[in-house]
Amino acid sequence: MIDWNDAFANGAYINGAADYLEEWPKSAAAFRATQTNATLDRAYGSKPRNLFDLFHPEGPSKGTVIFVHGGYWHQLDKSYWSHLAAGPLVQGWSVAFPGYTLAPEARISEITQEIAAAVTAIAAITTGPLRLTGHSAGGHLVSRMNCTNSRLAPAVQGRIAHTISISGLHDLRPLVETDMNDTLKLDTSEAEAESPALLDAHPDCSITFWVGAAERPEFLRQNRLIAEKWSRAGIKATDVYAADQHHFSVIAPLREPDSPLTRALLS
């Protein structure tokens, strides 16, 4: 029998995992303190976490990157990740960080709807292409935005030039068997309905499924599963396995304007 709790236990297999959780919000706060061309906590809905931060580069913006945070849908918030805007900003892109209601206050299907509303609101106040990225649960949510039932209007969907799902969760069915599900409240029906690997992608979708090569086997399996499934369906989908990167380190290259991850997102 598979121990599904262990399959998703990232921190238990990362040396110094607690240090990452301590460092992220400090780096993000320090970054925000340096930004003079930013809008913080702009509302896109009526709930307390329906807010986004938007950072602009110097000079005209080439478009907008939208980063959706992880935390297994029930932890963390947008304030942990602001520093990841550094790379795209140097390359001339605006960067937005939406928050969302956490489980158990919201089910995953409701969180999906909130992210669609956030993308729509961000699109309404920006120009140019949109490029989506997200980590872990955020990787799931940006993949969902590329499904045919994403609830994005065609005009917004058409502006999504590329997506990188980083260490995303694309098959939610195993989560039903975890202790985490006491919080997520997933049943089999919702798990299937919210699993991008079981859904149809928008035919014009362009997406990269990116995972650290040193991540837990389940994350590697899920990355390969959706990349192969969507590729066979004719979608422009590729998969990348970043050497020597684990679940917590894999997102750090977004801070660098010329890293392979930043280049892949913006090219």
pLDDT tens digits, 203-213: 999 999 999 99
Domain limits, the chain: 4-266
Give the residue from 167, 172, 218 showing the smallest Cα distance to 3.
218
Mean pLDDT, residues 29-40 taken together: 97
Task: Provide the H-helix boundaries in 75-187.
Answer: 86-90, 108-124, 137-144, 154-157, 181-184
Q: Please list, in sequence order, all residues whose beta carbon lies within 8 angstroms of the beta carbon of residue 13, skipping any fewer than 6 positions away.
A: 216, 246
> How far, CA to CA in Å, does 21 sit from each of 26, 72, 213, 248?
9, 14, 21, 9
Give the residue from 123, 114, 126 showing the smallest Cα distance to 46.
114
Token pair for 144: 């969902």
Architecture of the domain made up of 4-266 = 3-Layer(aba) Sandwich (3.40)
Q: What is the pLDDT of residue 33?
A: 97
Q: Let me know: does 222 contact 168? Beta carbons within 8 Å.
A: yes
- Whole-model pTM over 0.85: yes
Q: Let me know: does 8 contact 178? Beta carbons within 8 Å.
A: yes
Q: What is the pLDDT of residue 1?
A: 80
Q: What is the pLDDT of residue 187?
A: 97
Residue 220: is it exposed, middle or buried by C-beta count within 10 angstroms (0-12/13-18/19+)?
A: middle
Alpha carbons 258 and 241: distance in angstroms, whole number: 18
DSSP state at residue 57: -
Token pair for 252: 């750090």
According to DSSP, the residues that pair with 166 across neighbouring strands are: 135, 210
Q: Tens of pLDDT along 60-114?
A: 999 999 999 999 999 999 999 999 999 999 999 999 999 999 999 999 999 999 9
Alpha carbons 149 and 165: distance in angstroms, whole number: 18
